[in-house]
């Protein structure tokens, strides 16, 4: 997904489609999906593909397109001219066998005939003018067949009902429930959509300080039944976080299938509301500024019992200066170069040269990401990133989920002892402000560390094991 969609690439594509016009079945394979499952429909590279490639697919009658990048399962309806059409192309994806699956984009999409967070691969059989595509799970079950009248399609539908059931479970919980305060109560409404019993269990970590109403942590839901569960969380001064996982289990006659459908985290919110002070502007040279001698604004939950930052935490200094919002972060636990899989060394990240990796835990395309959610609307979430090589990236999301580019942001990165530093200066105009916001204004901020393969080996100031963009990672910063 680093090549252009237009120009010589589109010209080559049209030439090949013309050359193969008399072939009964023509199939394309490429990386970024035109019709995504785990990203916005307006994702920049998907839009480019629909602009430059989809018209060619329509013009020359492409049979099917295999898409990747989103790490989920998908089969679209036949699509032509940007709408459902029986004579159109079917888009199959989305590259989820050797990678962990991702959650789907919230809400069903008009183009999806089926979609689920499932690891799988596609098997294609071509005989004469016939083509049969089968989606096979990591445990060997065929759970989708296209076209739907192909042999085995009916049996695949039965397996689909089992494997896709986490996507169809109606588990109604309040908004923002994944980031609730301690001393609160939440309500789950659980509905079993299957034709077989579902077992539901709640797993708590730590195991104290929580009460279920009714007083049970394991339920069995008969087909079509609904149950309401209230969960009351009590305070514990020695704890900053408490996790509740919902574990679902179904026995479909071919073995049991399990999933963790919801992970709810409770935080002591007041522990992470810190103040942004108007300090003098530090030099934008990537060096450790003088303010590093003062306690950081944010240390999050990755800290030792004595309150000092733990090795996998990130120290963050946030200051309001006349030029804009200055964010300085020291990221610990920098060794990402030693990434050799003990079971499949051929899948290790070997595209970096040994000379670059030798004695250097920082790859030049590793990056520190800053996620910022101002209180002002309609900017929505903003993402800034800087690589160790000094390249910068800005992605501003509007409230509608659109990606808006363009920023006066300046950034630097460097190394401090065995740690990685990142420095951002974001103009107030970039944040919808003419200057620092009024005292008492509260914004949200997250620092993450990742690299171009988008793996989940991330050092952050909040929970280091979940998704980069999850709500529970964001700390609160208050302006004086």
Quick: pLDDT tens for 76-104: 999 999 999 999 999 999 998 888 778 77
pLDDT confidence of residue 370: 72
Residue 343 has pLDDT above 50, yes or no: no
Region 148-177: what's the mean pLDDT? 70
Instruction: Tokens for 228, please give them.
Output: 């309401």
- What does CATH list as the number for 270-479? 2.60.40.1190
Domain residue spans of the chain:
8-153, 169-267, 270-479
Most confidently modeled of 17-21, 188-192, 404-408?
A: 17-21
pLDDT tens per residue, range 25-39: 999 999 999 999 988
Question: b/e map of 288-323 (b: 16 or more CB within 10 Å)?
Answer: bbebbeeebbbbbbbeeeeeebeeebbbbbbbbbee
* 365 contacts 452 by C-beta, under 8 angstroms: yes
pLDDT tens per residue, range 418-435: 566 777 788 887 777 788
Question: Which band of pLDDT confidence, cut at 50, 70 and 90, is reported for residue 3?
Answer: confident
Region 433-456: what's the mean pLDDT? 64
With a CB cutoff of 8 Å and minimum separation 6, the contacts of 291 are: 279, 282, 317, 319, 328
- What does CATH list as the number for 8-153? 3.60.21.10
Residue 346 has pLDDT above 80, yes or no: no
Residue 136 has pLDDT above 80, yes or no: yes
pLDDT confidence of residue 14: 96
Question: b/e map of 236-267 (b: 16 or more CB within 10 Å)?
Answer: eeeeebbebebebebebeeeebebebbebbbb
With a CB cutoff of 8 Å and minimum separation 6, the contacts of 140 are: none
What is the phi-psi region of residue 313: left when phi exceeds 0, alpha when psi lies from -120 to 50, beta otherwise?
A: beta
* 240 contacts 472 by C-beta, under 8 angstroms: no
Most confidently modeled of 127-136, 182-191, 358-367?
A: 127-136
Q: How far is 61 from 369, CA to CA, in rounded Å?
A: 42
Q: How far is 246 from 232, CA to CA, in rounded Å?
A: 15
Least confident of 16-25, 227-236, 280-289, 300-309: 300-309
Asked if 169-267 and 270-479 have one fold, the answer is yes
pLDDT confidence of residue 245: 63
Q: How far is 43 from 70, CA to CA, in rounded Å?
A: 11
Instruction: Tokens for 216, please give them.
Output: 């049970």
With a CB cutoff of 8 Å and minimum separation 6, the contacts of 422 are: 328, 329, 331, 368, 370, 386, 411, 412, 413, 447
CATH of 169-267, one of 2.60.40.10, 3.40.50.300, 3.40.50.970, 3.30.365.10: 2.60.40.10
Region 4-25: what's the mean pLDDT? 93
pLDDT confidence of residue 35: 95
With a CB cutoff of 8 Å and minimum separation 6, the contacts of 269 are: 181, 476
Question: Which band of pLDDT confidence, cut at 50, 70 and 90, is reported for residue 268?
Answer: very low
Region 13-31: what's the mean pLDDT? 94
């Amino acid at each position: 997904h680093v090549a252009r969609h237009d120009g010589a690439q589109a010209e080559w594509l049209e030439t090949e489609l013309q050359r193969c016009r008399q072939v009964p079945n023509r199939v394309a394979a490429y990386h970024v999906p035109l019709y995504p499952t785990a990203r916005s429909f307006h994702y920049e590279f998907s839009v480019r593909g629909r602009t430059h490639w989809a018209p060619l697919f329509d013009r020359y009658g492409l049979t099917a397109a295999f898409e990747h990048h989103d790490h989920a399962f998908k089969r679209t309806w036949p699509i032509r001219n940007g709408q459902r059409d029986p004579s159109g192309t079917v888009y199959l994806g989305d590259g989820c066998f050797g990678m962990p699956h991702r959650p789907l984009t919230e809400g069903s999409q008009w183009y999806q005939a089926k979609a689920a967070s499932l690891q799988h691969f596609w098997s294609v059989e071509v005989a004469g003018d016939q083509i049969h595509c089968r989606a096979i799970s990591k445990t060997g079950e065929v759970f989708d067949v296209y076209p739907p009248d192909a042999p085995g399609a009916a049996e695949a539908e039965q397996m689909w009902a089992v494997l896709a059931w986490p996507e169809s479970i109606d588990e109604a919980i309040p908004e923002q429930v994944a980031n609730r305060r301690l001393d609160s109560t939440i309500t789950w409404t659980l509905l079993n959509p299957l034709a077989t019993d579902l077992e539901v269990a709640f797993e708590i970590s730590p195991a104290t300080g929580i009460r279920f109403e009714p007083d049970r942590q394991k339920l069995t839901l008969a087909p079509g039944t609904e149950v309401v569960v209230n969960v009351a969380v009590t305070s514990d001064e020695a704890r900053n976080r408490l996790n509740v996982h919902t574990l679902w289990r179904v026995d479909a006659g071919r073995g049991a299938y399990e999933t963790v459908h919801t992970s709810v985290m409770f935080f002591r919110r007041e522990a992470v509301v810190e103040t942004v002070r108007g300090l003098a502007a530090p030099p934008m040279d990537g060096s450790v500024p003088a303010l590093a001698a003062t306690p950081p604004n944010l240390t999050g939950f990755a800290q030792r019992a004595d309150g000092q930052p733990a090795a996998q935490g990130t120290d963050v200094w946030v200051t309001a200066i006349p030029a804009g919002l200055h964010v300085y972060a020291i990221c610990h636990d920098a060794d990402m170069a030693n990434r050799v899989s003990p079971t499949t060394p051929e899948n290790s990240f070997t595209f970096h040269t040994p000379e670059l990796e030798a004695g250097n835990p920082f790859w030049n395309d590793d990056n520190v990401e800053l996620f910022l959610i101002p209180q002002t609307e309609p900017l929505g979430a903003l993402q800034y990133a800087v690589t160790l090589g000094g390249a910068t990236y800005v992605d501003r999301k509007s409230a509608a989920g659109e990606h808006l580019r363009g920023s006066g942001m300046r950034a630097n990165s460097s190394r401090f002892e065995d740690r990685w530093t990142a420095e951002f200066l974001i103009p107030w105009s970039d944040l919808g402000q003419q200057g620092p916001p009024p005292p008492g204004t509260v914004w949200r901020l997250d620092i993450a560390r990742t690299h171009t393969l988008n793996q989940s080996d991330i050092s952050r100031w909040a929970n280091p094991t979940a998704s980069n963009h999850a709500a529970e990672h964001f700390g609160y910063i208050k302006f004086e």
